[in-house]
Amino acid sequence: MARQYRITLLPGDGIGPEIMSVTVEVLKAIAPSFDLEFTFTEAPIGGVAIDATGNPLPEETLKMCQNSDAVLLAAIGGYKWDNLPRNQRPETGLLGLRAGLDLFANLRPATILPQLIDASSLKREVVEGVDIMVVRELTGGIYFGQPKGIFATETGDKRGVNTMAYTDAEVDRIARVGFETAKKRGGKLCSVDKANVLDVSQLWRDRVVALAAEYPEVELSHLYVDNAAMQLVRAPKQFDTIVTGNLFGDILSDAAAMLTGSIGMLPSASLGAPGKPGVFEPVHGSAPDIAGQDKANPLAQILSAAMMLRYGLDQPAAAEKLELAAIAVLDAGYRTGDIMSEGGKLVGCKEMGEALLKVL
């Protein structure tokens, strides 16, 4: 019997519906060959949800997500909603979704495809073959630690405070995602901290070292965050999987992403507790400047669907099929405007989707 999955689709705003529709067609096309059956249900989030209900994350949308096996999100936001009060902005819907599903782990790959190597800002010999996954803690650390705020001091000066704090349980659960991810990839995990200066980082390092005993097949190393930043641009090929806290991960995942040079190609995954639905979405936004013009690159959304299959539904063979299809259309010369280069065949979102279906 076919394995059944309930997938909640959140197309959102801007180019979201365009790239989502291509992705759903592609998922439908590969399902039978892997004995999979998807039930897709669509729900509003972001600007479209504000227009329809006044709320960027309607309760029914969150419930539907909580009751599904995985959530495929496109992008939210646009000029129209930029000046609303903060609690009614599209981004508030996204934060609500992360909190509502307790998504504590964010996975962002930076893979250099040979076909797009010239899009990188670094030299070919430095980036050729780069394949990194950054695992970032998403719900703790300095973005959430208490106390936080701007306080008046006795001298009348103001003092801004944020607190970087992690409990051992918080470190353990993200470290486990790091080890498990490394196991599914090249078997190397680099934990990034600032243990030479920060006590919170010392706890982080102690816990990661303690857990390593449970993962003998993973080769563990440690770097201080300043050195990690340097190594990422000096010799990125040394990295396989990186695990780090919220603040360091925010910065390092953007730096790693830029090694690839093309925002329309970058997927991401946010995971919660094992067995709970994750959210899989492109790194890019809703691109309102090209929305509705059939110009969007659907590949980041397709690769997000591949991450959903691999990390959300444990269907690595189907994931690989999608990844290879994305590479095949690039090999065949198809390019959307954002990744266009000399000799490429310029196509729109729909035609890129048709090319993918042909390859599959």
Which residues inside 117-146 make contact with ligand NAD, applying CB under 6 A?
none
Q: Which is nearer to ligand NAD, 223 or 300 (CB)?
A: 300
In single-letter form, the type of residue at position 261 comes to G
Which residues inside 83-122 make contact with ligand NAD, applying CB under 6 A?
91, 94
Stretch near ligand NAD under the rule CB under 6 A, chosen from 25-33, 71-79, 163-171, 224-232: 71-79
C-alpha–C-alpha distance, residues 162 and 271, integer Å:
25
Q: Which is nearer to ligand NAD, 191 or 262 (CB)?
A: 262
Please report how close the Cβ of residue 336 comes to ligand NAD at its closest, in angstroms: 6
Report the sign of the C-alpha dihedral through residues 219, 222, 227, 229, in that order.
positive
Which residues inside 263-322 make contact with ligand NAD, applying CB under 6 A?
263-264, 281, 284-290, 296-297, 300
Q: Which is nearer to ligand NAD, 191 or 336 (CB)?
A: 336
Please report how close the Cβ of residue 270 comes to ligand NAD at its closest, in angstroms: 10
Please report how close the Cβ of residue 262 comes to ligand NAD at its closest, in angstroms: 9
DSSP of 43-72: ---THHHHHHHS-SS-HHHHHHHHTSSEEE
Instruction: Report, as residue numbers or ranges, the catalytic residues.
Output: 143, 194, 226, 250, 254
Q: Which is nearer to ligand NAD, 171 or 290 (CB)?
A: 290
Please report how close the Cβ of residue 16 comes to ligand NAD at its closest, in angstroms: 8
C-alpha–C-alpha distance, residues 328 and 338, integer Å:
18
- SS3 assignment, position 232: helix
By CB under 6 A, residue 44 contacts ligand NAD:
no
Q: Which member of 11, 17, 78, 178 binds ligand NAD (CB under 6 A)?
A: 78
Q: Which is nearer to ligand NAD, 178 or 282 (CB)?
A: 282
Residues shown for the chain: 360
Please report how close the Cβ of residue 94 comes to ligand NAD at its closest, in angstroms: 6
DSSP of 144-199: TEEEEEEEE-TTS-EEEEEE----HHHHHHHHHHHHHHHHHTTSEEEEEE-TTT-H
Q: Which of 47, 37, 53, 56 is nearest to 79 (CA)?
A: 47
Helices then strands, each counted (H, E), the chain: 12, 14
In single-letter form, the type of residue at position 201 comes to S
C-alpha–C-alpha distance, residues 56 and 63, integer Å:
14
Report the sign of the C-alpha dihedral through residues 27, 274, 133, 95, in that order.
positive
Bridge partners, residue 221, by sequence: 190
Q: Which is nearer to ligand NAD, 145 or 337 (CB)?
A: 337
Q: How many CB atoms within 10 Å of residue 210?
A: 13
Bridge partners, residue 222, by sequence: 191
CB 296 within 8 A of CB 349: yes
With CB under 6 A as the rule, give the number of residues binding ligand NAD: 22
Please report how close the Cβ of residue 138 comes to ligand NAD at its closest, in angstroms: 13
Residue 285 DSSP label: -
Q: Which is nearer to ligand NAD, 75 or 132 (CB)?
A: 75
Please report how close the Cβ of residue 272 comes to ligand NAD at its closest, in angstroms: 17
By CB under 6 A, residue 76 contacts ligand NAD:
yes
Q: Which residues bind ligand NAD (CB under 6 A)?
A: 15, 75-78, 91, 94, 263-264, 281, 284-290, 296-297, 300, 336, 338
